[in-house]
Amino acid sequence: FPRHRSDAPEIDSLVTGTADEASFRRLYASQLQKHGDSVAAFVQLLRLGEVTRSGSEMEAIDAEHSVGRDRWIEARVHELLASASVADREAMLNGLRDRLHAVVDAADDDARLRALQGLVRMARGTPLEVDALTALARSAEGLPLLQQSWLWQSIQAVGDESLQAEAVARLAQLTMRSHDPVSAVPYVDLLRTTYAEVPCLDQQTGRQLLDDWSRDAQFEEALSEATASAWPGRDVAITNRPFDDQIPRVHVLPVIGEIEGPLAGWSFTYDDRQHRLYAHNPLGRIAWEVSLSTESASERSIPTGVMAVGHLVMVRWENRFQLVAALTSEGGRYRTVSGGRSLISQMYQTQPFAGRRLHDSTGRAVGLVGPLTSEVVCYGVDESLVGLDPWTGREVWRRAYAGGINAIFGDDDYVVIRPNGQGELIVLRAVDGSLVARRPWPADFLSPPVGADWGRLLPTLKSINDSSDRLAMYDSATGETLWERQCSSPIHWSTVDGGSILLVDGKFQCVLLDPSTGQEQFSVPLPIEPPEDDRWDSLTVASDRDRVYVVMNRPQDSRVLRFERQATGDRPVNGRLCAVNRATGKLAWHADVDGQYIDPNHPDAWPVLILAARQRAADAEGFEFVEHILDKQTGELIHESQMPDEALGNRWVAQVRWRVAGEPPVIRMIHGPQTLEIAPGTDKESDQ
């Protein structure tokens, strides 16, 4: 190599743009690194990444590990940066900067787009990340809306003020041009408020942009949709109406993990007759819906939860999953990104996706699904672990594990698995699935509450003595304990929005904690007295943008029956309901509630809390339906009812509908022969 290295520039010029370019650059980079020139090797890997298409074919690294070429290149680039000296790292970043400028100035649009897609991944975590993201986002009109929106969301998160303003304006444009203009609501609100007088696009402020768009027929309807989603005031009028239609078989789906960005505050329901997923905006209005594929009766189960990153939604069952685009320029049938053996994505020109249904021919579950992150979504099937690019549904790496896998979790940086029958954790790099470390499984592991997703972090709980416990958070990637906290026992805990930890200790001190640092977000004593038998059954938590609602539950009365959808949605409330102000951490109000259920994913903008229960009648003849409606701001009981439920069966449904476009919304509480309608107004209650 040293003897022929002087010929490399001439060979470079001859192979550039040919079918041999990738092979040359890969060989050249490996020899440069082998002979100690890491900076030159880094530049060749950058060039290799530019000519390697995303989702390129898999290559075997060893007998157990295969990875796509593009992911392999990215991992090598990050390894070189991490191991470089200060001087070499600076030289590498200069090389990355030069390549970025050269690509931006390229005349060929397709080549520029492909090269920028590679450079964005190479620049991740470096000072040039924002520059690369911005260059790609401004050249990304040929990409699906789903990917364009994620680029601008990333810029909104890490860019300076001027780039954040541009990102908000671009996202408003993308969402208003989409099939789902209601998705523009958060961006239109930001242009009206935070960026009203800030230059966003072409030196126009947010206010000027909205004025211009309002005169454009293309955006007029979208702006109307985007501005008609606020509940006017906090007063409500309640009306009882007859209900003659068929009761929808709609199930509330738990949201797993914290949803940030454009879908923050959204909720999801599933119709098990139609096999349709409904996405509800923060007011509860159905923003979009999509049919989810089924291939056999064994698959017609209710999903166990929903996760979301940006405008990408993952619907999870026990033995399968589907990825759904919450933003598309087409209709609902074009939403599915991946998920079925015979399902072909309409958004990407790819082959049918195989292996997403993690069961055998008899319907027996043989695999499990990991979390959705912006980097990868993993699933285990048979004795393999598969990593997919969540934005395209393409397989990017695969590993073999004899004996199968018991659990999969992780974050954007690491995927962590627990093999079957082993007391250890295997830590993998998310980008390419390569082995990072093996860690011990914590002996005092505490199963997280329903809905929580803390990435690679595992909670542990250990008894110190009869009156206190130690709660800690273990980082499975590093093997370190990030924080620990001594608490009065017994403790009850849950999660708020799938992220923060809400803890109520033995002295009824309610504490909200950051799961990564253990830092208190608020701490407030709850006005709760122990029951006579000094026993609590469970802790129930619901929340909205303003308050956290906490209930320490006594054991449920045997008369109260579980709703059939309770396992996937509702939570029991049977004790003192305490509303805590999220901003101040102070108790706002409290009220006593007995023997009912609440939907923890109550739409943020609803001005009321709806509680309901199905129970055996007091005279032991048949069943009755009980409901209470509380004012969210004061805790005042503004409606209660009790009636036979002959027509209800074992279901109840609360939903929002619009009678006429542009008019205020109406919440319908469907419970058999009667429908309770809650609408903006001042009359407390009437019958029709």
Range list of β-strands (E), 376-508: 377-381, 384-388, 395-400, 405-410, 414-419, 424-429, 435-440, 457-465, 468-475, 480-488, 492-496, 500-504
- Kindly state the average pLDDT of the residues 468-482: 94
Q: List Cα–Cα distances, 59 to 73, 194, 483, in angstroms.
A: 12, 48, 40
Greatest mean pLDDT among 108-117, 137-146, 415-424, 438-447 lies in: 438-447
Enter the tokens of residue 7: 């010929």
Per-residue pLDDT averaged across 584-597, rounded? 88
Closest CA to 42 of 160, 108, 128: 128
In the predicted model, is pLDDT for residue 430 greater than 90? Answer: yes
Secondary structure percentages of the chain, helix, strand, coil, to 5: 25, 35, 40
Q: Which residue has the higher pLDDT, 551 or 402?
A: 551
Q: Which residue has the higher pLDDT, 258 or 51?
A: 258
3-state secondary structure of 229: coil
Give the residue-averaged pLDDT of 416-441.
91
Structure tokens at 625: 């339906």
> Which pLDDT score is estimated for 468?
92
Tokens representing residue 619 in the block: 């005279």
State the virtual CA torsion across 191, 192, 194, 198 in degrees, nearest 10.
Answer: 60
Q: Are 373 and 388 in contact (CB under 8 A)?
A: no
Highest mean pLDDT among 1-5, 51-55, 120-124, 220-224: 120-124
pLDDT at 81 over 70: yes
What domains can you pick out in the chain, each with its CATH number? Answer: 5-227 (1.25.40), 232-243+536-688 (2.40.10.480), 249-441 (2.40.128.630), 443-525 (2.40.10.480)
What per-residue confidence (pLDDT) applies to 366?
53
Q: Across residues 299-321, what is the average pLDDT?
A: 82
Supply the pLDDT for residue 439.
Answer: 94
Q: What is the mean pLDDT of residues 85-92?
A: 92
> What is the per-residue pLDDT for 516?
94
Contact 596, 611 (CB under 8 A): yes
Beta-carbon count within 10 A of 294 CB: 14
Q: What is the pLDDT of residue 670?
A: 66
Distance CA 33, CA 500 (A): 44
Least confident of 182-186, 207-211, 276-280, 565-569: 565-569
Q: Which of 243, 248, 298 is nearest to 272 (CA)?
A: 248
16 pLDDT higher than 60:
yes
Question: Phi-psi bin for 611: left (phi > 0), alpha (psi -120 to 50), beta?
Answer: beta
Confidence of residue 392 (pLDDT cuts 50, 70, 90): confident
Least confident interval from 397-406, 498-507, 552-561, 628-637: 552-561
DSSP helix/strand/coil, 356: coil
Rounded-to-integer distance, Cα 643 and Cα 625, Å: 5
- Region 98-115 average pLDDT: 83
Q: How confident is the model at residue 565 (pLDDT cuts 50, 70, 90)?
A: very low
- Which of the four pLDDT bands, split at 50, 70 and 90, describes residue 512? very high
The length of the chain in residues reads 688
Minimum mean pLDDT range among 37-46, 301-310, 333-342, 391-400: 333-342
Residue that is written with structure tokens 């590498």 in the block: 92
Cis peptide before 490 (omega within 30 of 0): yes
Q: Is-contact 495 556, C-beta < 8 A? A: no
% of the chain beyond a pLDDT of 70: 77
Alpha-helix runs per DSSP H in 393-536: none
pLDDT band at 204 (very low <50, low <70, confident <90, very high): very high
* pTM, 2 dp: 0.84
How do residues 532-542 score in pLDDT, each as one tens digit?
555 677 888 98
DSSP one-letter string for 23-86? HHHHHHHHHHHHTT-HHHHHHHHHHHHHHSPTTPPEEESSSSEEEEHHHHHHHHHHHHHHHS-H
- What is the arithmetic mean of pLDDT over 656-672? 60
pLDDT tens digit string along 352-384? 333 344 544 444 545 678 889 999 999 887 778
Those residues with Cβ within 8 angstroms of residue 518's Cβ, 6 or more apart along the chain or in another chain = 473, 482, 483, 484, 485
Which residues neighbour 553 within 8 Å (Cβ) at sequence distance 6 or greater? 536, 537, 538, 539, 540, 572, 573, 574, 575
Mean pLDDT of all residues in 227-244:
69
Name the nearest CA neighbour of 554 among 579, 527, 587, 577. Answer: 577
Q: Is 8 helix (H, G, I), strand (E, B) or coil?
A: helix
Residue 351 has pLDDT above 60, yes or no: no
Over residues 133-168, the pLDDT tens digits come to 999 999 988 888 888 999 999 999 988 999 999 999
Which helix (H) or strand (E) covers residue 625, if one does?
Answer: strand 623-631
Give the mean pLDDT of the chain.
80
* Pairing, β 236-242 against β 685-687: parallel
Q: What gap in Å lies between CA 10 and CA 400, rounded to an integer?
A: 42
